[in-house]
């Protein structure tokens, strides 16, 4: 079977993207990243992609009249490269209904909390960890899920917990969770590329090999 053609959307540093690049390179993931798109020009993830020899572009939202038009351009770029799976690796914009429909069941997102806690509109990046600390929960973690029209409401693929210590700060918590994110995202993409993920309504079944 030929490697799954992957498109990646980013907005920032790209450490999750890097974990996918590294695990494709070492043969752990049977995939090929065809295109990386960032909605932010300064995203270091673009540099990571270029350093890995992957087409990496900044798509300026200001060039488009609406979020819908911006998403239609995303669809065009990914379809032009026959992308089969889209990974949201720290992408901080909500995808449109059209894009979700076009790639239904083929968009994976990584989120730095245990969904359904600390997620949805306004919860992204360090804001998530600040919410965890402000609330005083004792466990947090990471979630990889399929993306639907809601924000962080799609079927959950994998989750793993991280214990919150009394002396944790946003930075220390972010670092602990990011390590788990890298592991979970690689596992989920590997399972997807192996055809091991089955979506049954709200549930994701992992086929045992
Ligand atoms: N249709 C969907 N789109 C996206 C999903 C999803 O589940 N369904 N996941 C998000 C990622 N995400 C959390 O995992 C997320 C991203 C962004 C926001 C948010 O509130 N963004 C701000 C703008 C932030 C900025 O540009 O600085 C906003 O939209 O006002 C919340 C959650 C990716 N897309
Ligand atoms: N709601 C989406 C969200 O908060 N995504 C988060 O942005 C960070 C991106 O880091 P990276 O650019 O180093 O991969 C990651 O922690 C990811 O979970």
Average pLDDT of 94-111? 97
For strands 56-58 and 31-38, give the pairing.
Answer: parallel
Is 7 marked as a binding-site residue? no
194 Cβ closer than 6 Å to some ligand 1 atom: no
Strands 31-38 and 107-111 come out as unpaired
| C-alpha–C-alpha distance, residues 62 and 7, integer Å | 22
Catalytic annotation, residues:
111
pLDDT in tens, 24-61: 999 999 999 999 999 999 999 999 999 999 999 999 99
> Rounded distance, CA 161 to CA 153, Å?
18
Ligand 1 in reach of 151 Cβ (< 6 A): yes
Nearest CA, atom 8, ligand 1: 151
pLDDT digits (tens, 9 = 90+) for 114-133: 999 999 999 999 999 999 99
Q: Give residue 43 CA to ligand 2 midpoint distance, Å.
A: 12
From the CB of 110, is ligand 1 less than 6 Å away? Answer: no
The band of 208, judged by pLDDT with boundaries at 50, 70 and 90, is confident
Torsion of CA 36, 92, 11, 104, to 10 degrees: -10
Question: Is 39 labelled a binding residue?
Answer: no
The DSSP H or E segment spanning 101 is helix 97-102
**Atom 6, ligand 1: residue with shortest CA distance:** 151
Q: Is 109 annotated as a binding residue?
A: yes
Q: Is the CB of 149 under 6 A from ligand 1?
A: yes
> What pTM was computed for the model?
0.97
* pLDDT confidence of residue 188: 98
Give the pLDDT confidence of 139-197 residue by residue, as tens digits.
Answer: 999 999 999 999 999 999 999 999 999 999 999 999 999 999 999 999 999 999 999 99
This model of the complex carries an ipTM of 0.94
Query: Which DSSP letter does residue 209 get?
Result: -
CB atoms within 10 A of CB 148: 18
Local confidence band at 1 (pLDDT 50, 70, 90 cut-offs): confident
Mean pLDDT of the chain, nearest integer: 97
- Which secondary-structure segment (H or E) carries 5? strand 4-10
CB atoms within 10 A of CB 127: 13
Determine which residue's CA is closest to atom 17 belonging to ligand 1. 92
141 annotated among ligand-binding-site residues: no
Burial degree of 4 (CB within 10 A; 0-12, 13-18, 19+):
buried
**CA–centroid distance, residue 152 to ligand 1 (Å):** 8
Q: Which domains does the chain have, with CATH numbers?
A: 1-103 (3.40.50.170), 111-209 (3.40.50.170)
């Amino acid at each position: 079977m030929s490697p799954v053609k992957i498109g990646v959307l980013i907005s920032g540093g790209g450490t999750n993207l890097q974990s996918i690049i590294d695990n494709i390179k070492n043969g752990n993931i049977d995939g090929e990243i065809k295109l990386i798109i960032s909605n932010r020009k300064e995203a270091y993830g673009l540099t990571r992609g270029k350093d890995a020899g992957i087409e990496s572009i900044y798509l300026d939202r200001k060039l488009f009249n609406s979020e819908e038009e911006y998403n239609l351009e995303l669809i065009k770029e990914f379809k032009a490269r026959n992308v089969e799976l889209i990974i949201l690796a720290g992408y901080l914009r909500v995808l449109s209904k059209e894009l979700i429909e076009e790639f239904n069941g083929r968009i994976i997102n990584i989120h730095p909390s245990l969904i359904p806690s600390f997620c949805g509109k306004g919860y992204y990046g360090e804001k998530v960890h600040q919410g965890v600390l402000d609330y005083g929960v004792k466990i947090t973690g990471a979630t990889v899920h399929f993306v639907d029209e809601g924000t962080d409401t799609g079927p959950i693929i994998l989750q793993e917990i991280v214990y919150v210590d009394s002396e944790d700060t946003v930075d220390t918590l972010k670092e602990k969770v990011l390590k788990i994110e890298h592991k979970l995202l690689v596992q989920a993409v590997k399972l997807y590329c192996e055809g091991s993920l089955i979506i049954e309504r709200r549930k994701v079944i992992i086929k045992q090999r």
